[in-house]
Structure formats: structure tokens, C-alpha cells
Structure 1
Amino acid sequence: MTVPWVHIWSSQEGFDETKTRVDRLCPNSKLRTALDGQDVGTLPQFYERIEQAVPLIRGLGRNLNALIDLFRTFGWGENAGGHHSFLWYHPEVLLQNSPQDFGNVLDSIVGVSKELVCGEETDPAFDPANSNDWIPTRLEIILAFRDPEAADGVAGMAKRLSDAWKDEFSSLDILVDRLDFDAA
């Protein structure tokens, strides 16, 4: 995989303008989901809002395993093989209020997005050519910050998955692009 699917932006644009920019980046997205994080400062608030933003599973558990399952649904059933997008607008609110929770959430979302693109590379039973086992699915992850310094820091965090993923991937490195936009 040589094209980044994790995008870290900074801009003063509002939520609607940022969603429009994502639509231009991902014109073929089948599922377009967006979380307005301006008032999401705690992990319980994040779990409540993510279920509303990504309505693929109802009754989402309030833990990282449930979050991982939620994002895996982008690659299930009729969604498998598609191109999808997830925008998290103004994620620095959670980052500032709970940096450890933010880091765990980021690692989970980015890890699942890599799993959707690459499959479980290190599983000896994994056959990437077997469409009954896995169909590559592209999930563009867009984190749109207002604070450029926070965006820079998170871009660095997103470039490497935690060791929790080492049993799935031959490399924990992630391609990330980091862009700044002026308000339209």
C-alpha cells in the first residue's frame, strides 16, 4: 500500500465545509460518515457520538473492542470491497481532555483501517486471494483539526500502530498525509 489512507488536516473551516472537502477527496465513497467532535471531551461522550456517526451497529458496547468491531463493519457484507470515509472533525477536544483515551481510540481506528486494506498479514491461515476470507476495503480516515500543532502531533502518533497489532501485520507503520487548508 503506497497511497495514504490516513489524512491529518488542519483548517479553520467549519464542519459542513470540511465534510464537503472530504466528499471531494473521496467522491466514490459508498459510506460517508462524520463525527463532529467539537463537544466530545470524554470517552463516554465519544462512544455515544460514534454510534450516531457510524450507524452500522446499534447498541455499541462502550469499549475499544466494540469500537474495533464497529469499524470492521465497513468491510462486511455489501460494504466489503468498497471505498468509504470517516471524518472526525475537531478531535483535539478529546485529545486535550483525555490524551490516553484519544491515543487508544486513534490506534484502534487506524489499526482497523489497515486491517481492512491489508488483511491479517501474519495469520498463517490468511489467504489474501480468498474472497471468502477477506475482500480489500478502503476506509479513508480523516482527522480535521483546527489547531495545526495538535495536527502535527497526531500525525506523528498515527504513523505507527501500537504493539497490540503486531500479531496481525508484518509492519506497524502507517502512511499518513498531513495537510493544511485555509478557510474557503
Structure 2
Amino acid sequence: MLAYASVRLLEDVGTARPLLLQAGAVCLLATCGWVGSRTYRRMKAELVWAEAVAASSLGQADRAMEKYRRAYSVLWADRYFLYNYAAELHRHGQQDEALRVAGACRRRWADYDLELLLAELYEQRGEDVRAEAHYRRASLMCPNRFVPLHRLVLLLDRTGRADEAVRLARQLVEKPVKVPSFQVDWIKKEMNNYIVKQCE
């Protein structure tokens, strides 16, 4: 009786093994199909993104925006795509949509250029407090950069905070230059002229 039970158990194991192998093969095929499908969709979306960039550089704004919208359905979580799309929307005057996309990007990424873009978008909407916060954050991210503080001086001056603007302009004029450039020279010169004008 014991011998019969052992033989029966071996037969059950023998028939179960092919079933397990078949089930594993089906699962593997399904997983490969799913991964392959997602990879293919991503590659197609990235090609559409490249077409959008090309269309934008040729001045074909409508075509570029249509391509960005198509790519967005797949690349909605890609931080580089979101930044690029937000900047493009901003360039084409679609500020509300640019702000929405830039906000989605910011939830995934902390970046100097993104902070500058958000500051500019908020400033254009007249939300100066938010714009100031983003300019300051950009400056903290890259303390050696001149652009955020320069734009902040202009914002402070425009909003009637000339004393703060002058103090910040002096900091910019005295700030050591790590990488000399025409832009930095121009900012320093403009800030120096601003201080002179305010102190007259």
C-alpha cells in the first residue's frame, strides 16, 4: 500500500511539473508583452517629442503644440519632458497651462531652471509673492548664479521695495564672479547704474 502511494505521488508530481512550467511560460510571455508594449509606446512618444522640438525650432508653433499634446499622454511623468513642455507653452503665451505643467514637473523634480520658469510665470500673473519665493529658491539652489537675484531686484523695485532692491543690487555688484560672461558683466553694470540712480 505504501509503495502504491509513493508511485501515485510521483505520478502527481510528474503531471504537475509541466503545468507549472506552462503557467510560468504564460506569465513570462505576458510580462514580456506588457514591457515590450510600454517600451514601444515610450519610444514612439519620445520620437513625437523630438518632432515637437524640431517643429518649434522651425517656428511651427501649432504643429509643435499638437506634437507636445500627443507625447504628453505617454510622457506625463517624465520630468525632462514636463519642463520642456512647460517652457514651450510659456513661449507660446499659454501661461495657465504652462503653470499647470510646470507644477506637475516640480512635484517630481527640484531644479534651478524650473524655479526660474515658475517665478517668471507667477510674475506674469501678478502673483509677486510666489514669484519672489521661486527667485529666492533658485538663488539658493545655485548661489553663484546672478540671474535669479537680478530678476528679484527688478521685482522688488517694481513692487515699491526700493530699499531692499538697492541692498540686493549692492550684493550683486560685489558678488565674486566664478565664470566670467557677457551676461554677468551686463548684470553687474545694470545693477551699478540702478544703485547710482536710486541714490541720486
Which range, TM-score by smaller chain?
A: under 0.3
Q: Which has the higher helix share?
A: 2
Q: Which has the higher strand share?
A: 1
TM-score with structure 2 setting the length:
0.24
Structure with higher RCO (Cα < 8 A, 6+ apart):
1
Which structure has the bigger radius of gyration?
A: 2
TM-score with structure 1 setting the length:
0.26
